[in-house]
Amino acid sequence: MPQPVRSERPRTEIRGPSGPGRFRFLLLVLTLAPLVPAGDALGERAESHTRLERSVPADGDVLAVVPDEALLEFSTGVEPTLSRLVLRFPTGDSILLKVTGVPGASNRIGASLPVLEPGRHSIAWSTVSADGHRASGTIEFSVVGVEEAARSAAEAPTSTGPADPEPVISELYSSESAAGPSLRRTLFRGLGLAFLLAAAGVLWFAGGSGLVREPSVLRAASATALLATVLLGLDYLDWLLDVRPTDMGLFAGFAAAVRTRIGIVEGGRVLLAGLTFFLAGGARAGRIAGFFAMLAVVVGAAAGHPATIEPAMALPANALHLGAAAIWLGGVLLLAVLPDHPETPQGGWQYHEVASRVSSRAFLAVGVIIGTAFLQDLLFLGDPSFLLSTDYGRLVLAKGAGFALLVVFGAWHRWKTLPRLVATGDASHLRLAVRIEILVMAAVVLVAAWLAMTVPPVAG
């Protein structure tokens, strides 16, 4: 988009990274990012969509002596209150074991085992990871006499690898596969996030200026905040129904899920979006509404893969990524709904000046988006070869293609559309172009939502 255009006419100040507030947005995000819960294992490399790594008993064990406690170790932190272990006996009967967390190890859960008769037993497990995804599987083992256990151990292949530093825990290669994300949740989450980003961006541009008094801007801010609240609320409800323990009542299960780390993050984002809607209807509260909207964006950055994959780097990067996306999307939405001339006495802005300033902010936002996207792709992919060989990698490419198209839109605005606007005063071409750009942005956000619910690969 073209460089900002100077004018002799008085103009309304648009809050953004210029003058005394040059880095207002970056300072806000960097200040709030450390407040985002980072989980218990800050800095640990972990896979999203948790898998079982080790267990006692291990899958396929033949035991002469049954341990007093079943112990399960996962690749990420898990929520003990949402975890369930069901012990099935050789007779076909089963009991629900009482799950407890392991102090100092957020990725382990345990449960006391009763006395077991000889025969084939199994433990069916289900848990919820720190990033909010469900995982489940089954451990099968046999209880036999001492002589049969010794014979089974003698017939077992000898390991040539290094000794396990924790011999009480055996390796388990889980056979469960993560199901793909549902279309319903992808739409709820993706569209809800798109509307939240749009509301935050519009209010960031207009909240501290006369633009927020324009009826069309107020309607856009209120509508996007309302839709964000409804859609993210539906996504949250869908998640609560999915992860609540089935042996608990509806409200008790909801309460258990809400009290978890991811439950607090997701619920906090919905509440902040609702507060934004409540405040966005009044021009005097525009700046406050913009603060709560941007806070909702930053808090929401703690959901998904960044919560479990190198959170010390991924969480701030994701907060900056989403904040910059809000500036870009909110800017183009502002240009789409802003009238050609002020409709209120407090106005004093000119459309081409607003468009030029949005162009400058969008240019800075694009740089932040590219840098943070590159960092997160490095963390989540692990190996460039996964770009073509995995579903996650192909979604990254699809998101990148959509983003490249948006950059083309921006370049066209900068060098073609805005000069025409300045020369003729006709905003119809720019307004049509940014409305198309908004549709492309929404599609990119939907791909990003699908990406956030897809298992990322791990190198090596």
Q: Inform me whether the pLDDT recorded for 273 exceeds 70.
A: yes
pLDDT per residue as tens digits for the range 125-153: 999 888 888 888 999 999 986 555 555 55
What does the pLDDT read at residue 253? Answer: 87
- Residue 47, pLDDT score: 37
Three-point CA angle 33, 39, 43, nearest 5°: 80
CA distance 42 to 440: 35
Three-state DSSP state, 82? helix
Q: What is the pLDDT of residue 292?
A: 94
- Tokens 């170790």 belong to which residue? 73
Count CB atoms within 10 A of the CB of residue 96.
12
Tell me the C-alpha distance between 299 and 319, whole Å: 8
- Residue where the block lists tokens 């406690």: 69
| Mean confidence (pLDDT) of the chain | 78
Predicted pLDDT of residue 333: 92
Residue 221 has pLDDT above 50, yes or no: yes
pLDDT given at position 178:
40
pLDDT at res. 243: 86
186: nearest Cα among 402, 437, 408, 445: 445
Q: What is the sign, positive or negative, of the torsion defined by CA atoms of 16, 21, 22, 28?
A: negative
- For residue 268, pLDDT beyond 70: yes
Predicted confidence (pLDDT) per residue in 88-119, tens digit: 999 989 999 999 998 888 899 999 999 999 99
Tens-place pLDDT, residues 280-338: 876 566 788 989 999 999 999 988 788 777 888 989 999 999 999 999 899 989 988 88
Architecture (CATH level 2) of domain 19-44+180-452: Up-down Bundle (1.20)
Which range among 101-110, 156-165, 308-317, 412-421 shows the weakest confidence by mean pLDDT?
Answer: 156-165
Sequential DSSP letters for 21-36 = GTTHHHHHHHHHGGGS
Model confidence over 54-93: pLDDT tens digits? 999 999 999 888 899 999 999 888 999 999 999 999 998 9
- Per residue in 3-19, pLDDT (tens digit) is 443 333 334 343 443 43
pLDDT at 194 over 50: yes
Buried b (16+ CB within 10 A) or exposed e, 349-388: bbbbbbbbbbbbbbebbbebbeebbebbbebbbbeeebbe
Confidence bin at 451 (pLDDT 50/70/90): confident
Q: Which residue has the higher pLDDT, 162 or 27?
A: 27
Candidate CATH numbers 3.90.1150.10, 4.10.320.10, 3.40.50.2300, 2.60.40.1220; the one for domain 52-155+165-171: 2.60.40.1220
| Same fold: 19-44+180-452 with 52-155+165-171 | no
How far apart (Å, rounded) are the C-alpha atoms in residues 150 and 97? Answer: 29
Q: Rounded CA gap, 190 and 49, in Å?
A: 19
Q: What's phi and psi for 123, nearest 5 deg?
A: -125, 115
Domain ranges of the chain: 19-44+180-452, 52-155+165-171
Helix (H/G/I), strand (E/B), else coil: 281:
coil
The pair of three-digit structure tokens given for residue 339, joined into one six-digit string: 């009238």
Q: Which residue has the tokens 């119809």?
A: 428
**CB-based contact 171:58 (threshold 8 Å):** yes
